[in-house]
Amino acid sequence: MNFNLNNLGNFNLNNNGNTGRKSGGLFGGIIIGIILLIAGTILLWWNEGNNVKNIQTVKEVTETAINVNSNSIDSKNEGKLICTSGNLEIVNEPIYDTLNPMAGIKTAKYTKVVEMYQWDEDEHESNNRTTYSYEKKWSEDKIDSTKFHQSGHDNIGTFPSRTESYYANDVRLGEFKLSGDQIKNFPTSATLTLNSNTPVPSGYRVYGNYITNTENPDNPNIGDIRISYKYNDYKEATVLAVQSGNTFTNFVSSSGKEVNRVESGILNSSQITNKMTDENNMLKWGLRLLGAVIIIIGYLAIVSPISKLASFVPILGNIVGTAVGLIAVLIGLVHSFVVIAIAWIRYRPVLGISLIAAAIALIVAIIVLIKKKKKQTA
């Protein structure tokens, strides 16, 4: 394992791809490291508290939600958290754009995706050198080529229109009417299939499921445009929200979390809460990993001056870099464990104490490792 710490804390101040002067000298990485440590710590602390709130919310939803039939509205359920499902009926379809390619497609929401073929710049760091590469790609956003570090990659052309979503204003689930916010949150994962009868503006034609003005779709030019359509294809849906008249509002848990879900298909409340639990677990572990990585990088940045100083002696530099890097990683893991443990002591004492014990065990392992290294070098 070889940790290259020499790049941490260096900033390129030139635009020609050559190495710029080091900002802050050997100690530039320390400032970056401290910032990363603070950011990672805040993220881990927030994540643990947020996860507890999510767990509490799922528990409340499980205990509170009642399954009701969407074919009738019972006034006794007013203000209560209900779970109801049925067929979606699109009463008033979205207002279509001028092309009107969605005619005949019953949908609560669709998105007109407008992309332009453009140059994009990527930055690469290697051996204290900054280089840039350029590739052509389709993008919904205008890429400003005036900020590129190398000339010869100019983006030209203008968007005829921008990506935009359109919504139906009357969508029914049995006797219930979906709220505007519920409709806006619908995913648009289905792609509209186009054909030779699809209406297109002057200068455009259909290629696959795109409307484009490019002369050669397999080799487009910079500035060419392509348009596609994504839409929601729910036929049946389930709503988990608070009944408010003939529509729905948010359920707010005691921890302040809001619940207002529309799922595809016919589900019951327990199936939705199981899905919520899975989502919470994915978010929890994803942010734990992200927070730990940020903290580890922070420690690597802080110890980077040691590696830089040792690099003046080639063989010593590699040995020191590896040893210091390994210790930084282990300390970063301990830091992460401690933050999570303290957060759980705040929110969940039993688990928090267990994590503290694990962190102590890891600290002991680091001490043993350091002593072993000293014996090997003695």
For the segment 239-274, what is each residue's pLDDT rounded down to a tens digit? Answer: 999 999 999 999 999 999 999 999 999 999 999 999
What is the per-residue pLDDT for 174? 95
Per-residue pLDDT averaged across 303-325, rounded? 64
Per-residue pLDDT averaged across 179-183, rounded? 95
Residue 285 belongs to what H/E stretch? helix 269-302
Give, in order, the Cα–Cα distances in Å from 169 to each of 105, 183, 234: 15, 8, 16
pLDDT > 70 fraction of the chain, expressed in percent and rounded: 83
Number of other residues whose CB lies within 10 A of the CB of residue 21: 11
Query: Comparing C-alpha atoms, which of 303, 136, 352, 325 is closest to residue 223?
Result: 136
Q: Is the pLDDT of residue 279 over 90?
A: yes
Per-residue pLDDT averaged across 311-330, rounded? 69
Per-residue pLDDT averaged across 109-124, rounded? 94
Per-residue pLDDT averaged across 322-342, rounded? 85
Instruction: Give the chain's mean pLDDT.
Output: 85
Tokens coding 313: 């002696």
Confidence of residue 129 (pLDDT cuts 50, 70, 90): confident
The dihedrals phi and psi of 124, each to the nearest 5 degrees, come to -130, 135
What is the per-residue pLDDT for 197? 85
What is the per-residue pLDDT for 340? 86
Q: Is the pLDDT of residue 16 over 50?
A: no
> Alpha-carbon distance 40 to 333, whole Å?
12
> Alpha-carbon distance 83 to 282, whole Å?
24
Spell out a b/e string for 120-130, using b for 16 or more CB atoms within 10 Å of the CB, else e.
Answer: ebeeeeeeeeb
Confidence of residue 3 (pLDDT cuts 50, 70, 90): very low
pLDDT in tens, 53-98: 999 999 999 999 999 999 999 999 999 999 999 999 998 877 776 6
Confidence of residue 21 (pLDDT cuts 50, 70, 90): very low
Sequence-distant (6+) residues with CB within 8 A of 299 are 33, 37, 328, 329, 331, 332, 335
What is the per-residue pLDDT for 14? 42
Q: Is the pLDDT of residue 24 over 50?
A: no
Tokens coding 126: 């290697």
Sequence-distant (6+) residues with CB within 8 A of 153 are 119, 121, 134, 145
What is the per-residue pLDDT for 312? 54
What is the per-residue pLDDT for 309? 59
Q: Is the pLDDT of residue 19 over 60?
A: no
Confidence of residue 206 (pLDDT cuts 50, 70, 90): very high
Number of other residues whose CB lies within 10 A of the CB of residue 31: 14
What is the per-residue pLDDT for 316? 56
Q: Is the pLDDT of residue 371 over 70?
A: yes
Lowest model confidence (mean pLDDT) among 42-51, 138-147, 149-158, 298-307: 298-307
Confidence of residue 11 (pLDDT cuts 50, 70, 90): very low
Query: Got the DSSP string for 244-274?
Result: ETTEEE-EE-TTS-EE-EEEES---HHHHHH
What is the per-residue pLDDT for 31? 87
Per-residue pLDDT averaged across 13-28, rounded? 45
Q: Is the pLDDT of residue 310 over 60?
A: no
Q: Is the pLDDT of residue 6 over 50?
A: no
What is the per-residue pLDDT for 199? 86
Tokens coding 225: 């445009």
